[in-house]
Amino acid sequence: MSITNSKGVNKESCNSVNYSNGVNGSYGVNESNSVNWSDGVNWSDGVNWSYGVNWSNGVNRSKGVNYSYGVLNSFGVDNAIFLADKKRTFSIFDKEVSEERFNEVWSEIYNKANNWYPKFNNAFELYLKNGNDWEKVNASEIKETLEDWKKPYEAWKDMPKELLSYIKSLEEFNSEMFKTITGIDTDKKEEQMITLPNGKKVSMSTVVSAIDNLTK
């Protein structure tokens, strides 16, 4: 269950809990107190039925809450004191879209990804190493795989071509924003590739350079 230096931790569904007190039915909880049925909670107190909560207190039935206090039934909350019933919004490349459009694109992305995803840490590798069982993963062994978290380009560089083509085709697509996030320059013209008789593929520039060298 990967529980370290914690008190009052109950139920087998409490995984990767570190330095926390009074945690029930929760996952990925660190330096937190009185956290129940919540996932991804860090340095927070009194958090219930919530997801993605960091450095916050008194948060209930909410998601994506950071640096806040007294939050109820709200989504996407940052730097708020006493807030209730903040509605969820949906966007693609910072353009607000309907929930139906969001779900359509979300589904297509996962279908075309074909189990590929950007890898920012070794958590999934540890999951596979431990027989596809998260309860056997030691949270202290999870390490970041990026040298610079502000430029996570290594995690995105092997994106499947089918997925990349789909993303580029979106009416909401923003090439500059996409490059900022992934490091992939979609405005850069792809170099033409040529297949040699032996089946090997080389770039046109390589062929031109070889011909130039032969004619010198």
The pLDDT tens digits of the residues spanning 90-126 come to 999 999 999 999 999 989 998 998 878 777 667 667 7
Round to whole Å and give the CA distance between 33 and 29.
9
What's the start-to-end Cα distance of the chain, in Å?
A: 68
Greater model confidence, 205 or 147: 205
Q: Given this model, what pLDDT does residue 43 score?
A: 66
Residue 165: pLDDT over 60? yes
Q: Given this model, what pLDDT does residue 59 score?
A: 62
pLDDT band at 82 (very low <50, low <70, confident <90, very high): confident
Q: Given this model, what pLDDT does residue 195 score?
A: 77
The domains of the chain are located at 3-84, 92-182, 191-216
Q: Share the mean pLDDT of the chain.
A: 74
Place of tokens 């993605």: 52
Q: Please report how many Cα atoms fall inside a 13 Å half-sphere around the Cα of residue 196, on the Cβ side.
A: 8
Q: Given this model, what pLDDT does residue 51 score?
A: 64
Cα of 162 vs its chain's centroid, Å? 20
Residue 76: pLDDT over 90? no
Q: Please report how many Cα atoms fall inside a 13 Å half-sphere around the Cα of residue 97, on the Cβ side.
A: 17
| Model pLDDT for residues 7-36, shown as the tens digit of each residue | 555 554 566 565 566 566 666 666 666 666
Q: Is 106 helix (H, G, I), strand (E, B) or coil?
A: helix
Round to whole Å and give the CA distance between 201 and 207.
10
Say if CB 48 and CB 36 are below 8 A apart. yes
